[in-house]
Amino acid sequence: MFQTLYSYFWWERLWLPANLTWADLEDRDGRVYAKASDLYITLPLAFLFLIVRHLFETYVATPLAGLLNVKEKVRLKATPNAVLEKFYAATTKHPKQADVEMLSKKSGCTVRQVERWFRRRRNQDRPSLLKKFREASWRFTFYLIAFIAGMAVIVDKPWFYDLREVWKGYPIQSILPSQYWYYMIELSFYWSLLFSIASDVKRKDFKEQIIHHVATIILISFSWFANYTRAGTLIMALHDSSDYLLESAKMFNYAGWRNTCNNIFIVFAAVFIITRLVILPFWIMHCTVFYPLDLYPAFFGYYFFNFMMVVLQLLHIFWAYLIIRMAQKFITGKVVEDERSDREETDNSEEEEVAKNGPLSNGHPVLNNNHRKTD
């Protein structure tokens, strides 16, 4: 049964145009072609990325955070309370008013104390500023290096300037070593992002991020199987062109460099909209949808590849909406924040108490002569 499924999965009519077989893509005469077995290396490389990331965040990002004076906000801890903790863990982190009143009676706390406890408890679960900075630093470093490497791989190729060259001779197109490693590293990195997504900073677009990572992994893998590598290198470089700008803006935001953050964000917004909403749909997708039909009839792989491109494009439109909302706040003079972030909750009376008496522990001031109020 397994052999039957394997045969159906690798049926040539699914992956290749008519009149072509896998035998046409066997290495010969010094020419090397993409093979599915090449991608096995991406899984161990993904785990290697996780190790490198841990070392980078520990020995590079953390000292860098100290140099940029990344400061944590004072967080008030919730008083241990078994009744409230059980409800928080088993039912919901955001109780309704009826639940608050019920918990008030069960726990012996006032309604305001219950509301305050849930605010503080939710804040305890939110990622620290240092964690956000370390994550942004790692992604900035990778995306910047990947973009530079990607441009080095494609800038001297004829299909970078003439998109019809993407399909010249397809699918009999040999793979260069630079293309091979560009693919392997990009795919390994996205595998590592998928493996670590549960422990990374969770934002409001958590589900969209999972869809994006899965769609990207499928697209990169499929483009390798079907030898869509010329189009694949263009698409990967295009995506990396704006990602490092966003991560750098986050880093400066966490460091409190508001003007620098806002300026980089405006550049990022412009690059994102130009690359993802103009170049990708009207140049790259036009290239993958129309040009191949001049060479061969449409087949399953053609439809599948372009369907996944549409999925990515819909995600880009969703994120462009969030970016435009942030840009509007910037134009109106408001502080630019990541619309996807789960903002920390505050209580005005507690903030006043912190300002006057220093940090609180379970609602009571802690004496600390060296304390300085931080933003």
Other C-beta atoms within 10 Å of 370: how many? 5
Q: How confident is the model at residue 28 (pLDDT cuts 50, 70, 90)?
A: confident
Between 199 and 56, the higher pLDDT residue:
56
- 149 and 252 within one domain: yes
**Alpha carbon distance 63, 135 (integer Å):** 14
Q: How confident is the model at residue 4 (pLDDT cuts 50, 70, 90)?
A: confident
Average pLDDT over every residue of 317-333: 82
- Mean pLDDT, the chain, rounded, equals 83
**What is the token pair recorded at 74?**
């004072």
- 190 and 110 within one domain: no
Average pLDDT over every residue of 45-56: 96
Q: DSSP string covering 37-48, please?
A: GGGGGHHHHHHH
Q: How confident is the model at residue 124 (pLDDT cuts 50, 70, 90)?
A: confident
Average pLDDT over every residue of 49-64: 95
Taking CA atoms, 249 is separated from 60, 158, 317, in Å, by 18, 34, 20
pTM (2 d.p.): 0.78
Q: How confident is the model at residue 183 (pLDDT cuts 50, 70, 90)?
A: very high
The three state secondary structure string of 112-159 is HHHHHHHHHHHHHHCCCHHHHHHHHHHHHHHHHHHHHHHHHHHCCCHH
In a domain, 63, yes or no: yes
**If you search the block for the tokens 């004496």, which residue do you land on?**
367
User: Is 213 within 8 Å of 204 (Cβ atoms)?
Assistant: no
In a domain, 375, yes or no: no
Q: What percent of the chain has pLDDT over 70?
A: 86
Average pLDDT over every residue of 124-142: 89
- 95 and 154 within one domain: no
Other C-beta atoms within 10 Å of 169: how many? 9
Give tens-digit pLDDT for 210-224: 888 898 899 999 999
- 245 and 229 within one domain: yes
Other C-beta atoms within 10 Å of 364: how many? 9
- Does residue 100 have a pLDDT over 50? yes
Which residue spans within the chain are E strands per DSSP? 360-361, 364-365
- 191 and 90 within one domain: no
- Range of lowest pLDDT (54-63, 66-75, 184-193): 66-75
**Alpha carbon distance 11, 27 (integer Å):** 19
- 115 and 133 within one domain: no
In a domain, 23, yes or no: no
- 222 and 102 within one domain: no
**Alpha carbon distance 91, 60 (integer Å):** 40
- 94 and 169 within one domain: no
In a domain, 263, yes or no: yes
**Which residues, 6 or more positions from 150, have their beta carbon under 8 angstroms from its beta carbon?**
182, 233, 236, 237, 240
User: Is 361 within 8 Å of 373 (Cβ atoms)?
Assistant: no
Residue 97 is part of which domain span? Answer: 82-125
In a domain, 189, yes or no: yes
Give tens-digit pLDDT for 329-351: 776 665 545 555 555 555 544 44
pLDDT (0 to 100) of residue 62: 93
Taking CA atoms, 306 is separated from 244, 260, 290, in Å, by 26, 38, 11
The count of domains in the chain is 2
Strand partners, 361: 364
- 107 and 145 within one domain: no
User: What are the backbone angles phi and psi of residue 190, rounded to the nearest 5°?
Assistant: -70, -30
User: Is 166 within 8 Å of 295 (Cβ atoms)?
Assistant: no
